Amino acid sequence: MVHADADDVLQNSFIKIWQNLARFRGDSKLYTWLYRIATNEALAHLRRERKRQKNSGPEALAFIQQDPYLDCSAAEKEMLAALRQLPEKQQAVFKLRYFDNMRYQDMAALLNTSVGGLKANYHHARRKLEPVVTKSLNLPYN
């Protein structure tokens, strides 16, 4: 996703939040509600983008082949590639916990699942990513 796309997703998220603010019942924290709207808008954007790429021929191939992580180190690129190989739920839980430092309780409300299931998914994701990270950082792996 390029910077302009991120701006569009953010703007659309704020519009949806404003339009639906009266519908917020307070069953969950405001943060969780806002995060869910932004996540849904980002996922909708990605679905639209995939659909557009399927229908656009050679231009789509050029877009897909672009490296969105040009500024990343080789180790970071390896970790991101390994992360993309994880099952979707493990990816989501790992990203929310590791990158966003989200609490399990907030994730449970956001993803509509149990805290125990989230902890298990995070554990499995970490276990699968550990060999890649230790190898790329030249650390001993047991």
Q: If you write DSSP's letter for every residue of 35-101 in order, what string do you get? A: HHHHHHHHHHHHHHHHHHHHTSTHHHHHHHHS-TTTTS-HHHHHHHHHHHHS-HHHHHHHIIIIIS-
Question: Count of alpha carbons within 13 Å of 12, Cβ hemisphere only?
Answer: 15
Instruction: Provide the token pair at 136.
Output: 């790329």
Class of residue 104 by CB neighbours under 10 A (exposed 0-12, middle 13-18, buried 19+): middle
Determine the Cα–Cα distance for residues 141 and 124; give it in Å rounded to an integer. 16
Q: Is the pLDDT of residue 24 over 70?
A: yes
Residue 134 vs residue 58, higher pLDDT:
134
Give the global pTM. 0.55
Q: Which domains, ranges and CATH numbers included, belong to the chain?
A: 1-66 (1.10.1740.10), 70-142 (1.10.10.10)
Average pLDDT, the chain: 79
Q: How confident is the model at residue 65 (pLDDT cuts 50, 70, 90)?
A: very low
Please give the pLDDT value at position 14: 92
Per residue in 74-90, pLDDT (tens digit) is: 777 777 888 889 988 88
